[in-house]
Structure 1
Amino acid sequence: MTQIPVFDATSPSDLNRALAEIEKALDNASPVLDEPVETEPSTSDTLDVETPPDFNIPAFSQLIGIRTEVYDQIRNALKSGKRHLMFYGPPGTGKTSLAELVAGHLYNSHRMVTGSSDWSSQDIIGGYQPAGDGSIRFSKGILLEHFDKPLIIDELNRCDIDRVLGPLFTVLSGQPTTLPYLRNPADENSERFVILPAAKANAKQHEFAPTQNWRLLATLNSIDKASLYQMSYALTRRFAWILVDAPEDLNQFVRDFGALKGYWSEEPPESAKSPIADIWSIVNDIRPMGAAPFIDVMAYCKAAAPDFNFFVGAEGESKSIYLSAFQVSILPMLDGVAHEQANRIAVNISNVLGLTTDSKEAKELTRKLLSLAL
């Protein structure tokens, strides 16, 4: 059995011996490649140019509440030559679903990944990896593995954006970029890998060229921008930025979504106003949110009372159901609001639900909101 050496890092002599052992191990593990690394060709001999993408993005019927201007901006950005789109806005507005549907319209296949603080450029672009025989070779990252289709990066600002996408700066600007990786790591005169900005027939073994179907579509929650990684100006201008905001008419959204889910058998009166829309508006004045958490509120209310009516004023049991649904689905998303803002939300929601300021329910709502306030 091989005995593992043990060193005392506080001893100068032991430390020198340890460094010598490490240097020896690295020499033994240095890459030895008899033949150059063969990577897959970047493109076929004949480029796929017969089916240009259709930039007439439709209004997707499965996405309720997406504003008309969003579709106009997507279409015009693509037609003007922008390849890469950034969908940003409050949480729950449907950014990820919209990115997937746009990618699916542009091409019949796409890949989606979710940003992570653990990412490095090797995860996205690629880098040296052990080959299993004591050598190393270049291994493609997610982007180069899928250089033939749209790549969706969900919640992009959860990674260190400039560090991860830095090698792509020049490519996104339409210029090739040379990577710091040799095709044959054992030969210092070997070609370095190059990422090309456009398709190329008969691309060389060290060249990665996208097809016309490749583009980046990313999403970014604007509510996270203060605490997560920021995007530099240099990278920002490589994208067309599409704001996906909360629905323009909150009451109409409640009406449309309820009809879609079959929450009522008869259409509510045209003049009817839903307390959910009022609560949503109160919250959005402080911290804008999309439909997703309020869809959860509606589902909660229907689960609590199958005949729940969203278009009458809060009465009797419905008050406690609304409060309970708010605490389950909305309250956690208000963490970190200012003390004065928490008070304002509590007062305004109490008014919508017909709660007096000295009632037990109003006091409990205020207490819970203040517990999250700064």
Structure 2
Amino acid sequence: MGRGWGSLDDSGDYFVVLAGYNEEKDVFALWDADLRREFSYSETVQIKEKTLDGAVENGIETQIRDLKKRPEKEVAIAATPDSLREAIVRRARREHVRSLADEHLPDDWNDSPSKHYQIEEVVLRFLLDDREDLTTEERRLLVQQSVADDLNVNLSTIQDKCGRKLYRDEDGTDYHPDYFDSDLEAIEGDWEASDDPWQGWDAGEADASTADAATLEATDASGMDDTAAKTDSEPDWGSWDLPRDAFETVEGPPTAERLHFPAEDDEPPVTHQIHDALRSGKHVVLTGPPGSGKTELAEVVCDHYVGDDYELATATDDWTTFDTIGGYRQQRDDGRLEFEPGVFLRRFLDPGLRKADAEPEPENEWLVIDELNRADIDKAFGSLFSALTGNNVTLPFDTEGGSVTLHGDPDDDPPVTDHDYYVPDDWRLLATMNTDDKSSLYRLSYAFMRRFAFVSVPVPTEADEISPELVGEYFDHWDTELPDEDAIGADGDDLETRLRDDLADIWSAVQAVRPVGPALVEDVLNHAVQTMEARGVVEYGPAVAAHVLPQLDGVRGDEIDDLLGEMETVEGFDRASAERFAEDFLDADLSDE
């Protein structure tokens, strides 16, 4: 086959392995032929020298690699001749696991590199786990923890990939964590029932040179080295060639099915405002009172443009550049200080894979920062400002490879290293800011504000704007199921009408004291519905105490007293529980004069 793009011949009745041989180290390298069905003979397939050295020492070593032409991750394997049989078995098993995952898991299980690798690794380890005394859930948790440990990430990260980011309703608002276990059981059933041709020759004396055992398709002198295993003392991990352009792969603004924003006569819909700001190159801060839906809206926006490739972080008042940019951290194994990136830099380079001795991997994960103005912005984001305006910044940290550099210039073409962080042109930061939380806010500097577009999330801010009809509009977007039975003395239609009237009165009373958004009203509704189902009565006092009153910190006691007095006009509101909470938690003096 000549130079250029070619394809592996996998039409025969044999298992195909794309492999190479390093004569100096006497080590084979096996790449994933299934993922590399199309590959370029004009480029050398690479494997790290560190991986080959690991094989020399241990017999077999793996390396996680990104693929430029596909969204999945590849697990390359290096093996000495004595371990070649085991390496081919591993290669075949992984391909078989992938085919079972394709059959049983949702179609988008492998639509991003980290999601593909983590799910595939969990499934593979689950199938190889033979502890019959454990339940499916227990086995799954154990293998998820082992994958998390190997990647140096939280268990919740792995569970998220196997849960919320894998199983969602069509509108993307819900997920079903139990689905993964049932799919694992189905995969395991097929795994145990399937013919495993590699198992037979794994136990015997296999000759890797025979065609009936495996076809080792190695590269030749027509474009690749005949070793097909390029190594470098100076690591060369390619360029920051990220295939996705967030704004070319979607059509139009996002839609928020579960959120409702009252139409403003003189303004375009809030999702259109966000869409226009992002496409113009701005990062976005969503502003509004508590419960206005800012955080959920930010996640809806990210999901629209980049799918699962975003991270949500909540700001705190003690954030520094150590949390956002990164800093030196002592390593547990040898006590050395090594630079570890913070929540911002981790969006551009996958640190978990680096801990697993894989090559540095370019990332393009958007970032959502919740409650941004709780952080001291200048202290926490100093170096970020320059990068957000297209400048390169050399940070005061060093790795073995060089100084840590943040490349904000979209025209820059830095090498992929463990110390270069490139901000892609389509990368965006979204943040939320509570406009009514002035008691604990840091002042936003002009230097910060001019780098962002501020979009106000529309909610009714005046008491006279709230009506049963408006609450009914929100009802149409909430997925609360009202009780079917007439245990509370009203049929379904009458109950919904009553709830709309009651919630409108409660919301209006609160709004006269401090603006809150509809999410808090939805919380009151859901709480009240649970009370109805449990005791057959409509009761709002505990729901208001649990969800609304915590937002009134700093409000004078006499105003809270008047507020509770207004709510007493609502049938089913007993102020006793709300009054106790206000006195204990808000330190409000509600005693009669």
Report the TM-score, using the length of structure 2 for normalisation.
0.47
**1:115 to partner: Cα distance:** 1.6
**Residues 238/122 of structure 1: CA separation in 2 closer, same or farther (3 Å cut):** same
Matches within 5 A, 1:193-208: 193-198=405-410, 200-203=412-415, 205=417, 206-208=419-421
Identify the residue that residue 322 of structure 1 maps to in structure 2. Answer: 540
Alignment of 1:174 with 2:390, yes or no, is yes
Separation of aligned partners in 1, 2:469 and 2:444? 35
Identify the residue that residue 81 of structure 1 maps to in structure 2. Answer: 281
What secondary structure sits across from 1:274 in the alignment? helix
What secondary structure sits across from 2:439 in the alignment? coil
What secondary structure sits across from 1:261 in the alignment? coil
Separation of aligned partners in 2, 1:58 and 1:350? 41
**1:101 to partner: Cα distance:** 1.1
Identify the residue that residue 16 of structure 1 maps to in structure 2. Answer: none
Identify the residue that residue 60 of structure 1 maps to in structure 2. Answer: 256
**1:235 to partner: Cα distance:** 0.7
Unaligned runs of 5+ in 2: 1-232, 349-363, 485-491
Alignment of 1:262 with 2:489, yes or no, is no
Unaligned runs of 5+ in 1: 1-36, 310-316, 356-360
Alignment of 1:237 with 2:450, yes or no, is yes
Task: Supply the AA of the counterpart residue of 2:540.
Answer: Y
Identify the residue that residue 314 of structure 1 maps to in structure 2. Answer: none
**Residues 332/141 of structure 1: CA separation in 2 closer, same or farther (3 Å cut):** closer
Separation of aligned partners in 2, 1:255 and 1:51? 35
What secondary structure sits across from 1:305 in the alignment? helix
Contact 1:245/1:290, CA 8 A, preserved across alignment: no
Separation of aligned partners in 2, 1:38 and 1:162? 37
Alignment of 1:165 with 2:381, yes or no, is yes
Contact 1:96/1:219, CA 8 A, preserved across alignment: yes
Contact 2:285/2:432, CA 8 A, preserved across alignment: yes
Quick one: higher RCO (CA 8 Å, sep 6+), 1 or 2? Answer: 1
Question: What is the identity percentage for the equivalent residue pairs of Structure 1 and Structure 2?
Answer: 34
Residue number among 555, 579, 582 corresponding to 1:337 in the alignment: 555
Separation of aligned partners in 2, 1:77 and 1:61? 21
What secondary structure sits across from 1:282 in the alignment? helix
Residue number among 233, 237, 243 corresponding to 1:48 in the alignment: 243
What secondary structure sits across from 2:521 in the alignment? helix
Residue number among 251, 255, 271 corresponding to 1:71 in the alignment: 271
**1:278 to partner: Cα distance:** 1.5
Matches within 5 A, 1:1-374: 44=239, 46=241, 48=243, 52-53=247-248, 54=250, 56-65=252-261, 69-82=269-282, 84-108=283-307, 109-130=309-330, 133=334, 135-147=336-348, 148-183=364-399, 191=403, 193-198=405-410, 200-203=412-415, 205=417, 206-246=419-459, 251-252=468-469, 254-256=471-473, 258=475, 260-263=479-482, 267=493, 274-306=501-533, 318=538, 321-353=539-571, 372=586, 373=588
Separation of aligned partners in 1, 2:342 and 2:269? 35
**1:222 to partner: Cα distance:** 2.3
**Residues 363/215 of structure 1: CA separation in 2 closer, same or farther (3 Å cut):** closer
Q: What's the Cα RMSD here? A: 3.7
Task: Supply the AA of the counterpart residue of 1:44.
Answer: S
Report the TM-score, using the length of structure 1 for normalisation.
0.71
Contact 2:246/2:306, CA 8 A, preserved across alignment: no
Separation of aligned partners in 2, 1:156 and 1:39? 38
What secondary structure sits across from 1:72 in the alignment? helix
**Residues 322/203 of structure 1: CA separation in 2 closer, same or farther (3 Å cut):** same
Contact 1:199/1:209, CA 8 A, preserved across alignment: no
Task: Supply the AA of the counterpart residue of 1:201.
Answer: D
Contact 1:343/1:370, CA 8 A, preserved across alignment: no
CA deviation map 1:298-356 (0-9, x unaligned): 122222224999xxxxxxx64xx23343233322322321244224313322344599x
Contact 1:89/1:244, CA 8 A, preserved across alignment: yes
Task: Supply the AA of the counterpart residue of 2:239.
Answer: S
**Residues 271/365 of structure 1: CA separation in 2 closer, same or farther (3 Å cut):** closer
Separation of aligned partners in 2, 1:362 and 1:172? 50
Separation of aligned partners in 2, 1:257 and 1:93? 12
Contact 2:544/2:578, CA 8 A, preserved across alignment: no
**Residues 197/249 of structure 1: CA separation in 2 closer, same or farther (3 Å cut):** farther
**Residues 204/251 of structure 1: CA separation in 2 closer, same or farther (3 Å cut):** same
Task: Supply the AA of the counterpart residue of 1:104.
Answer: D
**1:365 to partner: Cα distance:** 6.5
Contact 2:480/2:526, CA 8 A, preserved across alignment: no
Separation of aligned partners in 2, 1:121 and 1:254? 43
CA deviation map 1:255-298 (0-9, x unaligned): 35545323277556999751211110120121111123222221
Separation of aligned partners in 2, 1:138 and 1:257? 48
**Residues 117/369 of structure 1: CA separation in 2 closer, same or farther (3 Å cut):** closer
Task: Supply the AA of the counterpart residue of 1:111.
Answer: E
**Residues 343/102 of structure 1: CA separation in 2 closer, same or farther (3 Å cut):** same
Contact 2:290/2:551, CA 8 A, preserved across alignment: no
